[in-house]
Amino acid sequence: MRIIKKVSAGLLLTFGCVFLMVPVLVWTMPNKDASPEDREEDANAALGGLVLGIPAVAWGAWLARGLYRQGKQEKYDRLNSTFYRLIKESDGQFTVLRFAMEAQLPGKEAKKYLDEKAKEFQANFDVTETGDISYRFHL
């Protein structure tokens, strides 16, 4: 279903932009030697481009925004499940490196996430002789 939404959003945005190019071209490059009938045809073409382009772009943007939000929510859920699983498996104590490896995150993102969770759950920090930070969450 997600792939269908991605393709639909891409097609709607593409076709909408193409249709929106018609009024831009008509209004920015007017034909000075055109007859009144030709000018009326140009105005109708511009109006048609707007009528078809604006809803297509709006719908495509709405679909793309929904996909973006869904992706963020899935990432948040994955991080939370990894976090709680590690707490359970390691009796509440683990390092940033272990969390980053398990959650498949860059080190800075993993540290930021764990710092937020440490504040939320009032966790303690242990620093080893090598300078590694270990988070200790109370169960």
| Each residue's pLDDT tens digit, 8-28 | 999 999 999 999 998 888 878
Q: Are 87 and 104 in contact (CB under 8 A)?
A: no
User: Model pTM?
Assistant: 0.69
Residue 89, SS3?
Answer: helix
Angstrom distance (rounded) from CA 126 to CA 52: 61
Q: Is residue 53 domain-resident? A: yes
Clarify whether residues 99 and 31 are in a common domain.
no
Q: Is residue 49 domain-resident? A: yes
Range of the structural domain that residue 110 is part of: 90-139
Q: Is residue 28 domain-resident? A: yes
What total of structural domains would you count in the chain?
2
Clarify whether residues 2 and 37 are in a common domain.
yes
DSSP type of residue 29: S
Report residue 95: phi and psi, to 5°.
Answer: -100, 170
Clarify whether residues 34 and 96 are in a common domain.
no
Asked whether residue 125 carries a pLDDT value surpassing 90, the answer given is no
Q: Are 137 and 92 in contact (CB under 8 A)?
A: yes
